[in-house]
Amino acid sequence: MQIIRTVDDLRRWSRASRSTPGNMVGLVPTMGALHAGHASLIRAARDACTHVAVSLFVNPTQFGPGEDYSRYPRSFDADCALAEREGADVLFAPSVDELYPNGPASTFVDIAGLGDRLDGASRPGHFRGVATVVAKLLIAAEPDRAFFGQKDAAQVAVVRRMVADLGFATEIVACPIVRDADGLALSSRNAYLSPAERARALTLSRAIRAVESLVAQGECRGQMLIASADGVFSDACSAFGSGPEIRIDYIALVDWATLLPVETAAPGALFAVAAYIGATRLIDNTILK
Ligand code: PAF
């Protein structure tokens, strides 16, 4: 596996890779601290494309003041080993100066409306930073397909809208959420959780499972689904009593493309939760059947 540090080298690699008819370049954008969820994205890219690049860049512009940019887990050697093991051809690991040559950041991509919904409402400017860096990565790598985890479902919606609005030729592929055996959705931020917090973090996936089983029984009223997830959180707060706080950020049933609330759970609707477990903000979701 080749490690590439500059935009020019990445573009040269991508163009050379695609020069043979039928070849396809896949890009897996990441912020590192790679886990089995990222491994599944790399495998999906490997299955669908002839050449695969993984980008590893902790993007400063998607973190708000007081968020975890400086302490975000960084594990370059382990990330290289995982990316190589899963079959990546290239690891693109630029510096901040390489991706933001005029400082972070003189030009932004702002997805009006969509960028302020769900996580964008709680983390102002977050999706502006995500859209900006993903645009830079797509311009640099010119991939045929880019692979994102469905765990960050609002991010997928934002990136899809940006690609449509700006006319990128890249297909955005959303891959299923990967979970630990007990149901916790994999996230690099799970590394922040103490054992007591990790036990409480299961509340998110329990809430999602409760909603999925209600939908399977025929319930499709958004209010009832939201109340059921809310009930799972209330029960967890009572059951755990003292200790790290469990605090709901949002529970929402929305259209996956617009992120606007919907009243009825139609197939393809996104049911999403975000909650603070202690100081760590976690998210989980399901796309309703
Ligand atoms: O999902 C992530 O890890 C990041 O938001 C992304 C897409 C790599 C952009 O920095």
* pLDDT level of residue 262 (50, 70, 90 thresholds): very high
Judge whether residue 245 has pLDDT over 80.
yes
106 band by pLDDT with thresholds 50, 70 and 90:
confident
Buried b (16+ CB within 10 A) or exposed e, 220-237: bebeebbebbeebbeebe
User: How high is the mean pLDDT of the chain?
Assistant: 97
Q: Which atom of ligand 1 is nearest to the CA of 55?
A: 8
Question: What is the 3 state secondary structure string of 155-207?
Answer: HHHHHHHHHHHHCCCCEEEEECCCECCCCCECCHHHHHCCHHHHHHHHHHHHH
What is the band of 85 on the pLDDT scale with cuts at 50, 70, 90?
very high
What is the per-residue pLDDT across 39-51, written as a single tens digit (0 to 9) for each? 999 999 999 999 9
C-alpha 253/C-alpha 147 separation (Å) is 24
79 lines ligand 1 (CB under 6 A): no
Number of CB atoms found within 10 A of residue 170's CB:
19
Q: What's the pLDDT at 241?
A: 87
Residues 265-269, mean pLDDT to the nearest whole number: 95
The ranges of the chain annotated as CATH 3.30.1300.10 are 188-283
Q: What is the mean pLDDT of residues 273-277?
A: 98
Distance CA 267, CA 220 (A): 10
Q: Which residues are catalytic?
A: 38
CATH architecture assignment, domain 188-283 = 2-Layer Sandwich (3.30)
Cis omega before residue 153 (within 30°)? Answer: no
Q: What is the pLDDT of residues 154-182, one digit of tens each?
A: 999 999 999 999 999 999 999 999 999 99
Residue 210: predicted pLDDT: 98
**CATH 3.40.50.620 in the chain, residue ranges:** 2-175
Taking the centre of ligand 1 as the mean of its atom positions, its distance from the CA of residue 221, in whole angstroms, is 32
Q: What is the pLDDT of residue 244?
A: 95
**pLDDT of 8 higher than 80:** yes
pLDDT digits (tens, 9 = 90+) for 181-228: 999 999 999 999 999 999 999 999 999 999 999 999 999 999 999 999
Comparing C-alpha atoms, which of 256, 259, 276, 269 is closest to residue 211? 269
Average pLDDT (81-104) is: 96
Ligand 1 in contact with 150 (CB < 6 A)?
A: no
Per the listing, tokens 């709901």 go with: 248
Average pLDDT (105-126) is 94
User: Does residue 278 have a pLDDT over 80?
Assistant: yes
Q: Please report which helix (H) or strand (E) contains residue 139, including its range.
A: helix 126-141
Is pLDDT of 105 > 90? no
Q: How far apart are the first and last CA of the chain?
A: 39
Architecture of domain 2-175: 3-Layer(aba) Sandwich (3.40)
Residue among 63, 96, 134, 138 to mutate when testing ligand 1 (max atoms within 8 A of CB): 134
Residue of minimum CA distance from atom 2 in ligand 1: 30
Q: Which atom of ligand 1 is nearest to the CA of 59?
A: 10
User: Which residue of 38, 96, 155 sits with most ligand 1 atoms within 8 Å of its CB, as the best mutation to test the pocket?
Assistant: 155
